[in-house]
Amino acid sequence: MSTTHSISTPSQRSTTPTSTPPAPSGAGRAATTSSRIPEAIPYKKDDWAQSMAKTMAWPMIGMGFMAVIGGLVAGIIGGVNFGDFFSPSGVTDDLGRAEVAVQLTGAFLFLGMALILSGITMTLVNIIRHLRDSGRDVQVALGAAPLQRSKPWTGLLTPWVMMMGLMAPMAAFVVGIITAVTVGDIDSAALADPGSASSADLADLGFVRAASAWLPGLRLTGLAVILLSVVLALVTIQRSIRFQGRRIAELAEGAPSTAG
C-alpha cells in the first residue's frame, strides 16, 4: 500500500540544527513526495516525552547516584552502630540507631537505583531522537523529503511504563522513611528483647517487621517495571534503525538508473 505525503517544509527542522549540504539534483527525486513504507510519516519535532528525556536524562542519573551514595553512608553508619552494640561497651541505643540506619539504607539505595534506571531509559529515548534527526539530515542531503517512522506502540508505552515503575520505589521510599521514624520511636530495650516491649512498642515493632517484609518486594517490582521500559525503548530503537534501512532501499529504488 502506497502512502503519499506532501512535503515541502524545511522549516519543520529541528531540535538539533545541523548544516546539511545542498540537495543534489536527480538523486531520490522520485521518492521525494511519497513513500511506500506504511509507517512513514513526515518529520515531526519532539513530543513531551522526548523533550523531558532531553532535559532530564543526566539530572536523573546524577540524583540517583547521589541517593545511592546517601544509602551507602547510611549503611556505614548502621554497620558502625551494630558493631558498637555488640562490643563489650555496647548499649541498646546503638541497636536503635542501627535499625533506623538499616531502614534508611534500603530506602535511599533503591530510590537511587530507580532514578538511575529511569535516566538510562531517558538516555535511550535520546538515542531514538538522535536516530530520527540523523535520518532526517541524510534524507535532506539526498534531496528527499524527510520522513520518519511513526511512533510504534513500544515507543508510546515507554514513558508511561517508566514513570509507573518510578512511582513504586518512590512510594517505597516514603514508607521506608516512615518505617525508620517508627523504629526510632521504639524503646531500644524493646528492640533488643520484644518480650519486654509495651503494647505500643509491640504494635510499632509489628509494623516495622511487616513493612520490612514487603517493602523489598515493592522496590524490586518497581525496578522490574523500569527495566521493562528499558526493553521497550530498545525495541523502539531496533524498529527505528530498521525503518532507516527500508527508507534507504526505497530511495535507491527511486533513484534514476544509470545503466541505460
Partner 1 sequence: MTTNSPAHSTVGNRDTGNSVSGATPIGLALLGVMTVAAAFVALIVAGVAAGDVFSPSGGAASDQGVWMATQAWATPLALTGLAVIFAGAVPLALRNVRSSISFRRDSMATGLPKILNSTNTAQTNTAHTNTAHTHTSHTKENVR
- Of 52 and 202, which has the nearer Cβ to partner 1? 202
105 in helix, strand or coil? helix
104 in helix, strand or coil? helix
- Of 14 and 154, which has the nearer Cβ to partner 1? 154
**Contacts (Cβ under 8 Å, ≥6 apart) of 133:** 14, 15, 16, 18
C-alpha cell at 177: 522513611
- Of 98 and 205, which has the nearer Cβ to partner 1? 205
**Whole-number minimum distance, CB 228 to partner 1, in Å?**
5
Cα Rg of the chain (Å, integer): 28
Burial of 201 (0-12, 13-18, 19+ CB in 10 A): middle
Residues that bind partner 1 in the complex, under the rule CB under 8 A = 24-28, 30, 35-38, 142, 154, 194, 199, 202-203, 205-207, 209-214, 216-218, 220-221, 223-225, 227-228, 230-232, 234-235, 237-239, 241-242, 244-246, 248-258
**Whole-number minimum distance, CB 87 to partner 1, in Å?**
28
**Whole-number minimum distance, CB 89 to partner 1, in Å?**
29
- Of 104 and 191, which has the nearer Cβ to partner 1? 191
Give residue 27's region: left, alpha or beta (phi > 0; psi -120 to 50): beta
**Whole-number minimum distance, CB 239 to partner 1, in Å?**
7
**Contacts (Cβ under 8 Å, ≥6 apart) of 173:** 107, 108, 110, 111
**Whole-number minimum distance, CB 170 to partner 1, in Å?**
16
DSSP symbols for 196-226 = G--HHHHHHHHHHHHHHHHHHHHHHHHHHHH
- Of 11 and 257, which has the nearer Cβ to partner 1? 257
